[in-house]
């Protein structure tokens, strides 16, 4: 039986919400709060599954926005490099090269698939980056792609290329466990939209890459996904397995998702190139929902141009996804960057920035384009996090109401279930006001980006990680250099903290560090052209991990 609400209960709730009412105001409210509470309890009796979307939908476009392109166009670089003799050189090759070798018959899709399956068998026990491996399916798909090529049919740049799919995308008849114990035996009866589009593009599914439980961190029901550059630390999350497998040369490319750093953070940790496209560009149908107004789907690769080939394959509107926005994707590898203007926030390169960050900015200034300081309106950007907490708590309401989260391998009290419970004490009024703040943030970033083609900065320094995820702007994160540092502790986002500080004599590891570029809404092409130029200037993309313990 639910007890009657008293004035003392209201006074206690005020402290949780940061409010202060008078005794008279509490007396006025107390009579009708029972009914308000009972309506909420009655709604909870209707169980909403993860696939039921919100009626409200987020649109990143401000008034007056016009799509920058009218039709799709993909013009990749012409590759003439011959097939290497060493399997490892093939495994770590850019997707552009792999595509050329398969199309020209220098290597069959079956041989490439077997090469990657062998690396998975050898290295997955150490990296724990694949939750499920599908060798029979992969070989069958590869054989089918070879047969099509033999018949003169080429499906595009991904034809015959083996890849890893983050284990929150449905794959018919194949376990899709969301990284979490309550769902580890979940087997969907249909494919996600991304799964279908990649199959249509000719890509070969090697298996499901690990995801931190319910898209948090790099811990999952089967273990702890590791960074190939230092096996003593995790690969960050939540696209943990996708970044680890790609960085380790266990696949040609992979697919990740980002709500708030889940593509860029593991790319920072593992040294991969991650592209978080504009919100709404890629369908999320058949993908686990964490936050309906924030979730985005994108590629994780080993070079900038590779991300364009993958995005072209998965791009497209989908009426089944309430957040989907039909937008052409236009990329031409031959396009130059002459005349571009790159902005940066000077404070982002001060406290908290690394030598690699500053060197990346210096390299950008040497590209022959205009680089200028910009400013961003001072707003309480961190307050937007309330939206993440509330939407995620709603997406997994049953988990905490029924206490099934007790089966999860959480490492500290800051993990998702505790956050879900705390979100119950966010007021509806504050949530609406936070949504209005989000619109102000859209205006602020729109104003800042109006004078530049792109912005450069450390991905987790300053407001841009949070702000750009909430505005829906695209972000490209690429390797910029290396640092010698001690093993880092578990962290959901970013570099994490040193486990034992930097005491003298502590073992250090050479690990990659990256830099982020943010671009204009639905105009990823110029962003990638700029990224290609910066990647070439920095000259660190080809270095491979040695999997040190």
How many C-beta neighbours within 10 Å does residue 73 have?
13
24, 173: one domain: no
Q: Residue 463: pLDDT above 90?
A: yes
Please confirm, yes or no, whether 262 is among the known catalytic residues: yes
Q: Residue 495: pLDDT above 60?
A: no
Residue-wise pLDDT for 404-438, tens only, equals 888 887 655 456 888 899 999 999 999 999 999 99
Whether 395 maps to a domain, the answer reads no
Give the closest residue to 155 by CA, choosing from 205, 111, 197: 197
pLDDT of residue 240: 97
pLDDT of residue 462: 87
118, 170: one domain: yes
Which of 9, 30, 46 is the C-terminal boundary of a domain? 46
39, 81: one domain: no
pLDDT of residue 10: 96
Mean pLDDT, the chain, whole residue set: 95
160, 221: one domain: yes
81, 30: one domain: no
Q: Residue 503: pLDDT above 60?
A: no
Q: Give the integer Cα–Cα distance in Å for 250 and 230.
A: 16
36, 87: one domain: no
Count helices and strands in the chain by DSSP H and E runs = 17, 17
Whether 474 maps to a domain, the answer reads yes
Q: Residue 129: pLDDT above 60?
A: yes
Q: Is the pTM of this model over 0.75?
A: yes
Which residues constitute the domain of residue 16? 1-46
Whether 155 maps to a domain, the answer reads yes
Whether 361 maps to a domain, the answer reads yes
Percent of all residues in the chain with a pLDDT value above 90, rounded to a whole number = 91
Percent of all residues in the chain with a pLDDT value above 70, rounded to a whole number = 96
Whether 415 maps to a domain, the answer reads no
First to last CA, the chain: 56
24, 104: one domain: no
Q: Give the integer Cα–Cα distance in Å for 537 and 535.
A: 5
Whether 157 maps to a domain, the answer reads yes
Task: Provide the token pair at 451.
Answer: 């004078």
Q: Which long-range contacts (CB under 8 A, 24 or more apart) does 503-511 make?
A: 508/484, 509/229, 509/230, 509/232, 509/484, 509/485, 509/548, 510/229, 510/482, 510/483, 510/484, 511/227, 511/229, 511/230, 511/269, 511/271, 511/482, 511/483, 511/484, 511/485
| Residue 349 CA to its chain's centroid (Å) | 23
Residue 383 CA: distances (Å) to CA of 49, 59, 387, 426: 28, 20, 8, 12
Q: Give the integer Cα–Cα distance in Å for 528 and 548.
A: 32
Mean pLDDT of 137-150: 98
Residue-wise pLDDT for 148-169, tens only, equals 999 999 999 999 999 999 999 9
Mean pLDDT of 457-472: 94
Residue-wise pLDDT for 329-375, tens only, equals 999 999 999 999 999 999 999 988 999 999 999 999 999 999 999 99
Q: Give the integer Cα–Cα distance in Å for 183 and 51.
A: 14
What CATH number is given to the structural domain containing 370? 3.90.1300.10
221, 333: one domain: yes
Residue 80 CA: distances (Å) to CA of 251, 307, 369: 22, 20, 29
E strands along 195-344, which residues?
204-209, 219-220, 223-224, 226-227, 230-234, 253-258, 273-276, 296-301, 330-332, 341-344
Cβ proximity of 369 and 343 under 8 Å: no
Confidence at 444, pLDDT banded by 50, 70, 90: very high
Task: Provide the token pair at 125.
Answer: 């026990």
Three-class SS state of 219:
strand
Q: Which of 99, 254, 262, 267 is catalytic?
A: 262
Q: Which of 166, 208, 236, 239 is catalytic?
A: 166
Confidence at 497, pLDDT banded by 50, 70, 90: very low
224, 105: one domain: yes
pLDDT of residue 492: 46
Whether 270 maps to a domain, the answer reads yes
Please confirm, yes or no, whether 468 is among the known catalytic residues: no
Q: Which of 99, 109, 236, 238 is catalytic?
A: 238
359, 439: one domain: yes
Residue-wise pLDDT for 83-115, tens only, equals 999 999 999 999 999 999 999 999 999 999 999
Please confirm, yes or no, whether 166 is among the known catalytic residues: yes
354, 498: one domain: yes
Cα angle 241, 244, 245; round to 5: 80
Whether 51 maps to a domain, the answer reads no
pLDDT of residue 489: 76
Which residue shows structure tokens 């949070």? Answer: 466
pLDDT of residue 410: 64
Number of domains forming the structure of the chain: 2
Q: Give the integer Cα–Cα distance in Å for 114 and 94.
A: 18
Give the closest residue to 128 by CA, choosing from 36, 237, 244, 230: 244
Residue-wise pLDDT for 52-88, tens only, equals 999 999 999 999 999 999 999 999 999 999 999 999 9
374, 493: one domain: yes
Q: Residue 501: pLDDT above 50?
A: no
């Amino acid at each position: 039986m639910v007890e009657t609400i008293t004035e003392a209960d209201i006074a206690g709730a005020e402290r949780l919400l940061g409010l202060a009412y008078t005794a008279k105001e509490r007396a006025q409210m107390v009579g009708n709060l029972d009914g308000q509470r009972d309506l909420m309890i009655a709604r909870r009796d209707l169980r909403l599954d993860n696939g039921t979307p919100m009626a409200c939908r987020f649109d990143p476009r401000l008034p007056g926005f016009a799509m920058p392109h009218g039709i799709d166009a993909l013009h990749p670089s012409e590759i003439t490099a011959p097939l290497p003799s060493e399997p490892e050189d093939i495994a770590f090759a850019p997707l552009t090269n792999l595509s050329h070798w398969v199309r020209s018959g220098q290597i069959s899709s079956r041989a490439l698939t077997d090469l990657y399956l062998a690396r998975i068998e050898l290295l997955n026990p150490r990296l724990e980056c694949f939750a499920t491996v599908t060798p029979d399916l992969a070989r069958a798909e590869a054989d089918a792609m070879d047969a099509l090529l033999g018949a003169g049919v080429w499906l595009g740049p991904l034809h015959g290329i083996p890849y890893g799919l983050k284990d929150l995308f449905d794959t018919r008849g194949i376990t899709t466990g969301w990284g979490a114990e309550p769902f580890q035996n979940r087997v969907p009866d249909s494919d996600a939209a991304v799964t279908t589009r990649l199959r249509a593009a000719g890509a070969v599914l090697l298996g499901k890459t690990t995801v931190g439980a319910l898209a948090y961190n790099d811990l999952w029901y089967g273990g702890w996904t590791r960074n190939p550059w230092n096996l003593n630390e995790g690969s960050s999350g939540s696209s943990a397995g996708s970044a680890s497998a790609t960085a380790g040369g266990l696949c040609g490319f992979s697919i990740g998702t980002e709500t708030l750093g889940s593509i860029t953070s593991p790319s920072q940790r593992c040294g991969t190139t991650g592209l978080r496209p504009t919100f709404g560009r890629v369908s999320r149908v058949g993908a686990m929902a964490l936050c309906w107004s924030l979730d985005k789907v994108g590629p994780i690769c080993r070079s900038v141009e590779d991300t364009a080939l993958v995005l072209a394959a998965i791009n497209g509107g989908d009426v089944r996804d309430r957040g989907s926005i039909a937008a052409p994707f236009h990329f031409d590898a031959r396009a130059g960057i002459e005349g571009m203007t790159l902005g940066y926030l000077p404070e982002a390169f001060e406290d908290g920035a690394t030598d690699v960050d500053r060197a990346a900015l210096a390299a950008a200034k040497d590209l022959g384009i205009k680089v200028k300081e910009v400013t961003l309106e001072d707003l309480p950007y961190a307050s937007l996090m309330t939206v993440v907490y509330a939407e995620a708590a709603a997406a997994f309401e049953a988990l905490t109401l029924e206490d099934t989260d007790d089966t999860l391998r959480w490492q500290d009290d800051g993990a998702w279930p505790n956050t879900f419970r705390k979100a119950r004490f966010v007021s509806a009024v504050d949530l609406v006001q936070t949504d209005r703040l989000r619109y102000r943030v859209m205006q602020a970033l729109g104003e800042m980006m109006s004078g530049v083609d792109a912005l450069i900065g450390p991905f987790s320094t300053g407001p841009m990680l949070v702000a750009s995820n909430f505005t829906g702007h695209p972000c490209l994160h690429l390797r910029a250099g290396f640092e010698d540092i001690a093993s880092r502790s578990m962290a959901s986002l970013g570099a994490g903290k040193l486990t034992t500080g930097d005491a003298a004599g502590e073992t250090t590891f050479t690990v990659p560090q990256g830099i982020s570029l943010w671009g204009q809404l639905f105009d990823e092409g110029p962003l990638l052209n700029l990224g290609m130029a910066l990647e070439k200037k920095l000259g660190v993309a080809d270095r491979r991990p040695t999997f040190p313990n």
